[in-house]
Every structure is written in structure tokens, then in C-alpha cells.
Structure 1
Amino acid sequence: MSAPNPTGAGGERLMFIDLLKAVGAQFIVLHHLAFYGPMSDWTHRLAPDLVTWFSQDARMAVQVFLVVAGFLAARSLAPGAVPRPMPFMAQLGQRYVRTALPYIAALLVAIVCTELARRWMAHGTVSAPPELWQFVSHALLLHTLLDVDSLSAGVWYVAIDFQLYAALLGLLWLARRLPASSAWVMALPVIVVAASLFHFNLDSDWDSWALYFFGAYGLGALTYWATHNDEAWRTGRWLLGALVAMTLTALAIDFRERIALALTVCVALACSQRKGWLFTWPRSRVVAYFSRISYAVFLLNFPIALVVNAWFTRYGSHDPFTQTAGVLLAWVACNVAGALFFHWVELPLGRLKLRRKVAVALPAGVGPVEKN
């Protein structure tokens, strides 16, 4: 997804996070394929339990991305729990450019794919032609807050991810301006995590706002700060224990599978960081590659699947086996399209951003920013 690339200060891969991102992205693709018909309606006749699980439960993979995004954001914004001395708007602007440029390009692809699908089928998954304000609100990542009809499935997450990053950045900015700022770096996120777990996440009316999701995201950030080195771990183990106890209390009050999953991922990340296999397992180029293209696959999977659905609806035989073959073809096509988009669009846009960052940052006396 839109979390920063999982690389360390020395350029080494965070292999366990690669695994989480690679697998999580595939679950999201399969969720969309199962949830949005019409091909999956035929597949349901062959494997009803499997299709139902993917359509209803696989979406919880989003919680994995929320925790990983928080973990990597903390690692990037405040390595060693010390906020980087960069202007708030400069860091937020860098995040917007990095997230939004490939996202906007993907929206244009989605619009084209929707028009192509409209020629082949009439179905509820084919949205109406976009209006200018609808596209602008998406490009500004305001569509969830303004309750604008979505141009593609899953793009709500991109807006929420940006909100969460801005919220964490704002908390770090505030902590630097308070007395005993080093203590507030972690205290402020703990307060907001508690508010999310015990109040905002209990009310679905808040699900267009970062506060609804900050429980999982903040747990990821705090897990990084509590476990990043031996010195931090001396006190961090007590922080991590308190976070686990607080989350279990919130679950006892109102059990939510998504929060239980987020807590499980946090514990796994803590163990991987302390035991060292965050950097060493699994050693797989395939997993690393699917992690690198995960954001591109996420952005394009729905429009590509929509076109395949439309083609099979128009030209394929209306029987379970043919339509299930279409589902499998769509799964492959989503990954191929994501890989092509990553190499031809996301990487070139990333290099453009990097050149701009160097040109602006160096005259201002700011050193290179670690790419995480």
C-alpha cells in the first residue's frame, strides 16, 4: 500500500515487513475479486465458503497495512524516538507528492477502465462518469471527508493513510514544543491511541477520519519506538506491555476482530525487531518484489478486475468454470498491471520527487532523508 518502502538505514530490506505487505496486498485483491461481481457470483457456486470468506473477512488485511504504515512512519519521522528537524509542511508535502502522484495516475487509469467496462456490461460495480469536482476531491485526498462517491474501490485507504501520517507528524511537531519533549514523543500517541480504541473506533460514523484508525496505526508507531534498540527496550518493554494490556481491555469492553489482528501484528513486529528476523526472514526475492509493487497492485486491482469482469460477462460462457477462470485471470492481470505501473509510472514519479527533494533540502542545510 502507501506505506513507505521497507528499507533500513543501510539500504537493507525489512524482510518480515516485505512478507506482510506482499501477502496483505494479495488478500486485498482477492477480497475485491470476491466482493465485486459478477464473475465471483458464479465462483460462489463452486466454493461458497471460500468466496464468502474472501468477500467478508479478507478485507481485514487493511489492519496489517495500518500497523506497518505506523511502524514505518515512526521509523522515518522520528528514528530513535527523536523527531527529525524538518518543517511540518515540508515533510507533509513530501508525503503527499510521494503518495498522490502515482495515485492520481491510477485514478486516470480507473476512469478509462470504467468507460471500457461500461461498453461491455451494465452492473452496479460500474460507476457513473466522474465529474470534475469528484476527481479534484480525490486528487486532494478529501473525498472521504466530503462524502464524495468513490472513483475506485479501496481509494479511501489512501486518504486515510495520508490523514494518519499528518496526525502522527502533528503529534511529533507538538511534542518538540513541549517541556520534556522526549517523553511527549511517545506519550501523545499513547493518548490518541487510547482515545481511538475506547471511543472513536467504536463509532462507525468516524470511519472517514484518522481517529477511527489511529488505534492500529499508533500501535505500530509505538511498537517501533519501544523495540528499535537495546536502550529503548529497557523501558520500551513496559510500554509495550502497557499497550497490550490497554488493547486487551478495549477488546474486553467491545471485541473487534480488526483490533485483535492489529495487536497480533504489533506483537509479531516487536518480536521480529528484538530477535533480528525483521531483517532476515524470509529471504525471498519474490516476496521482496511483490512487496515493492504492492502499492501499485493495490491502486490498479479494482479497475483491471472490472475490465476482466466486463469482458467475461460480454464474451465468456455463463457457467461457473469459465467465470472462475476469469477470476483467476483477473488476479494475474492485477499483478501484471501493478508491476508494469510500478516500473513505468511509480518509479519514474519517485525519481522526480527525489530530485526535487535534493534541490530543495540541500540549500536549506537539511541532510538527506532516510528512505524507509
Structure 2
Amino acid sequence: MKVVAGTVAGASKTLPAQFGLINLLKAGAAQLIVLHHLAFYGPMADHARVIFPALFDWLADSARIAVQVFLVIGGFLAAKSLAPSGQAGCATPLRAIWRRYAKLAPPFVAATLVAVLASLWAAEWMTHDSISAPATLSQLGAHVLLLHGVLGYASVSAGAWYVAIDFQLYALLVVLLWLVGRVSGNRQQQWLMPLVVAAGITLSLLHFNLDADWDNWALYFFGSYGLGLMAWWASDPRRKPGMAVMLMMMALLPAVLGLLLEFRSRIALAAVTACVLFLWGRGKIASDSRAWVAINGMGKISYSVFLIHFPVCLLVNAAFTRFAPAEPEWQGVGLLAAWSGSLLAGALFHRWVEAPLSRLMQFVAEQLAVRDVHMPRPLPR
């Protein structure tokens, strides 16, 4: 990674250049998701809606498609990690899937427990349908396994479905890489995997994504995820421009056909996001200004904000319902408090929960790998 020198907050530092555009997209999408849930759930929005009714209606309805940005970025970064040149093959698929689970699940489980406690606390101060029923052990177990949607359990927290889908999509990609690699004999064919992904995008957008009964499964969302995969492979600077454009068209053509078949704003946003990443997603920006330090920081904590914002918003809703007047202005202040509180809680959750758990899981994985290396092998017969 390129390193640049910069001065931040009066102190000279050497800061790494980062994928600034990706962090900007993640930070912006995370804010829209928080605002969507604030406008959609809880009594504060019901009271404050009269201040800016059109804005509240847009946030409650259309802002939810910002999750498509995360899906496309997820595919983009998964391609970078698992198959940077687009070649099939994965030597240790189970280990790769476990690493993804170990990254996603521990902070998700911690945030789920916080949401359970927040629901119990909020129920003491208000009665509202945004409060989940007391969680059962089987429901929590399904959340731990990231199978709550598949098994038909209600989510304890808004947005919990996305974590499970992200894991499914990553696991599906690993399986495809491994399977295509085995079938092709792991020959270095840079077109085979993109062809398979393009076929998956087509099936997803022209069939599975048109049927809401599939929305607990990766195939429903693979169109958006696959657009991100193709954007990474097509933006490889080693490719000739004509080949790069052809790869991107392999992804965009089924998206266009899908939109013609049935226009879906979420798919249109996914296609636009993929095009933006294709053109500028690999660019790294020096973190030598306060603005980019803030943007990169917001991008870094976006997963924590995504995980922890709902219980924070729930508690603030309950507090303003119980202790504040029902006037729109007071409830509007509550919305601002919930929004800013979500960002603060996300930063604290990242520092004290997500990051330590990530280091712990990495340490455990390294110890298991070392033990595996030093285990005696059976003698050949």
C-alpha cells in the first residue's frame, strides 16, 4: 500500500492512502440506512413528519435501497480478496468461509444481545410495534448461525437480514471459485469465472430477484453482488481497455434487461454503483486532510454503525416518548439525538467490540493454523 505524508490536527503523521471513494460510499450509505430506520420505525418520526413530510416519506421508503451500495462494494472487495485477477480456484474453501463468518458474526451477535436488552428497556417506557417480542433461545441461536431468515425467525434488530445475506453471498462465491477451479483443473483461465458470474447475475436479475419469496437467500441479491465482482475484474489495469469494457458489459447487459423486464430502483442504483467502482473504485486517496480523515473514519466504522444504530434509535425513541412533549420540534430534536448517538455508539462499538473481537478471532485462527502445521502426519503405508 502506498504511503503518503500528511499533517492532521496539527501533528505530522505518515498515513496510508486508502480507497477513499469506497469509504465515502460506505459512509454515505450507512447514514442513509440509519435515517431510513429512524423515519420508518418509532413514534418520533410520526410526530416530526409534519416538519418535512416529503423528506420523511422519501427516507421511510426510498432510502432503504442504499443497502445496494453495500452489496456492490461487498462483491468488489470479495473479488479483490478471493480472486483478484478473476481466476477460478480456492485451495481452502472451508477456511475462507470460516474467516468471513469470524469477521461478521461475533460483533453481530454482540449487537444482537444489545438489541434484545434495548427492546426490554424500551418496552418499559413505550408501547410500539418497533419493539421486538422477547427473544427466545432458538431465535438467538438462529441469529448466531446467521440463519434466522432462512429458518423463519423474526430479526431481533433492523438490518440483521443483511449480515446473513452478506455471509451467504461470500460463501456462494467461495464455493463457485472452488467448484469452477476443480472442473477446469485450476488452469489459468481469466474468462471462465467472469462468465460464470455473468450467468449468475442474469439468473438473479431475470428470475430470483423478481420473486420476493427468495429474499432470504443469496440468489435474490447475487445480481448486485455480481456487479461488484465484475467491476473489480474489469477495472484491472493490466487488462486492455477493450477487454475491460467487454467484461463490464457482460455484467451490465443482464442488469439492463432486468430493468426493462421490470424496473427496480434498487437494481438501477446497483448498476450505477458498479459503474462508479469500475471507473474509480481502485483509486487510492491520501489521508492528509481533515475531510478525508473523517470520511475514512466513517467508512471504517460503517459496519459497527450498521449493527448498533437500531438499539440506540429504539432507546432514544422510548426516552422521548416517555419524557419529552409530543410536539414535532421536540421529537425532531430526538431524531437528531438518535442519529448522532448512533454515530457515537458505532465509533465506540468499533473500538471496544468489533476491533477487539476481530483481533481475538484472528489470533485463534493463527493458533489453529500453527497447530495444524505441527500436527504429525500419518506415515504412508
- Aligned with 1:191 (options 176, 184, 199): 199
Alpha-carbon distance in structure 2 between the residues aligned to 1:294 and 1:160 = 17
Aligned to 1:369: none
- Shift in Å at residue 356 of structure 1? 2.4
Aligned to 2:354: 346
* CA-to-aligned-CA distance 1:140-179 (integer Å, 9 cap, x gap): 0001101101101110000011011111111101111122
Please say if residues 301 and 334 of structure 1, whose CA atoms lie closer than 8 Å, have aligned partners that are also in contact: yes
Please say if residues 205 and 223 of structure 2, whose CA atoms lie closer than 8 Å, have aligned partners that are also in contact: yes
Alpha-carbon distance in structure 2 between the residues aligned to 1:278 and 1:258 = 27
* CA-to-aligned-CA distance 1:268-300 (integer Å, 9 cap, x gap): 011104xx6354699600000011111110001
- Shift in Å at residue 188 of structure 1? 1.3
Alpha-carbon distance in structure 1 between the residues aligned to 2:227 and 2:134 = 39
Residue correspondence of structure 1 range 13-28 to structure 2 within 5 A = 13-28=18-33
Letter in 2 for 1:217: Y
Alpha-carbon distance in structure 1 between the residues aligned to 2:66 and 2:24 = 12
Alpha-carbon distance in structure 1 between the residues aligned to 2:199 and 2:73 = 20
Letter in 1 for 2:138: W
Is 1:277 aligned with 2:283? Answer: yes
Aligned to 2:208: 200
TM-score normalised by L of structure 2: 0.89
Alpha-carbon distance in structure 2 between the residues aligned to 1:217 and 1:9 = 28
Q: Which deviates more from structure 2 when the two are superposed, residues 349-358 or residues 250-259?
A: 349-358
Aligned to 1:110: 115
Residue correspondence of structure 1 range 1-372 to structure 2 within 5 A = 12-82=17-87, 85-179=90-184, 180=187, 182=189, 183-231=191-239, 233-273=241-281, 277-279=283-285, 284-361=292-369
Cα root mean square deviation, aligned:
1.9
Identity of aligned residues (%): 43
Please say if residues 169 and 218 of structure 2, whose CA atoms lie closer than 8 Å, have aligned partners that are also in contact: yes
Alpha-carbon distance in structure 2 between the residues aligned to 1:186 and 1:272 = 20
- Shift in Å at residue 58 of structure 1? 0.5
Please say if residues 101 and 349 of structure 1, whose CA atoms lie closer than 8 Å, have aligned partners that are also in contact: yes
Letter in 1 for 2:283: W
Structure 2 counterpart SS, 1:261: helix
Aligned to 1:3: none
Please say if residues 24 and 64 of structure 1, whose CA atoms lie closer than 8 Å, have aligned partners that are also in contact: yes
When Rg is computed on C-alpha atoms for both structures, the one with the higher figure is 2
Letter in 2 for 1:345: V
Alpha-carbon distance in structure 1 between the residues aligned to 2:150 and 2:92 = 25
Letter in 2 for 1:145: V
